[in-house]
Amino acid sequence: MKKWQAALMMLIIFIGGYLAGIYFSKEEVSREIRVGYQDRDRDDVIHFKNIIKNTENQSAVDNIMMIFMKREKIAAPDVNLEKPDIYLEVLSPKQFTGLIDSRIWFRGDGAVIAERSGESWEDVIYYAISKQDADYLKQIVEYDKY
């Protein structure tokens, strides 16, 4: 085999391997955090305007998960379950599963999180998070924007 034929063969193999690597190694979203806001005119409409994916912002997804892991359980606070400041859902699109379904109210000393623990919002567990964590959530979900 001549040198140019060998070089051409190696080039074809290299390009084929490169293209196969690009095609077969697409990164899939494994965690998705959806942030929703209630419509000003209709209480039954929620607009999910901010979606944070682990493929785009892994540190934000990790930090939000850590906030939910270190929250403190509290007795039923004085909040209107139908009027939260934001709705926050953590989903696993790869598994087609909702992991966390919550509603959040921001306060001066932190925030209150209501997490659905049953099939409906009749079964709710309330949690509190610190002011630092609440401020981080406000920043990352662009709370002041909406």
Angle at 127 between CA 126 and CA 131, to 5 degrees: 140
Question: What's phi and psi for 40, nearest 5 deg?
Answer: -65, -30
> Are the beta carbons of 33 and 89 closer than 8 angstroms?
yes
> How confident is residue 77, by pLDDT bands cut at 50, 70 and 90?
confident
- For residue 62, pLDDT over 80 is answered with yes
Mean pLDDT of 6-18: 83
Q: Tell me: the pLDDT tens digits for 22-45?
A: 777 667 778 999 999 888 888 788
- For residue 127, pLDDT over 90 is answered with yes
> How confident is residue 131, by pLDDT bands cut at 50, 70 and 90?
very high
> How confident is residue 1, by pLDDT bands cut at 50, 70 and 90?
low
Within 13 Å of residue 24, how many CA atoms lie on the same side as its CB? 6
CA distances to 32, 93, 95, 99 from 28, rounded to whole Å, are 11, 9, 11, 17
pLDDT at residue 55 in the model: 87
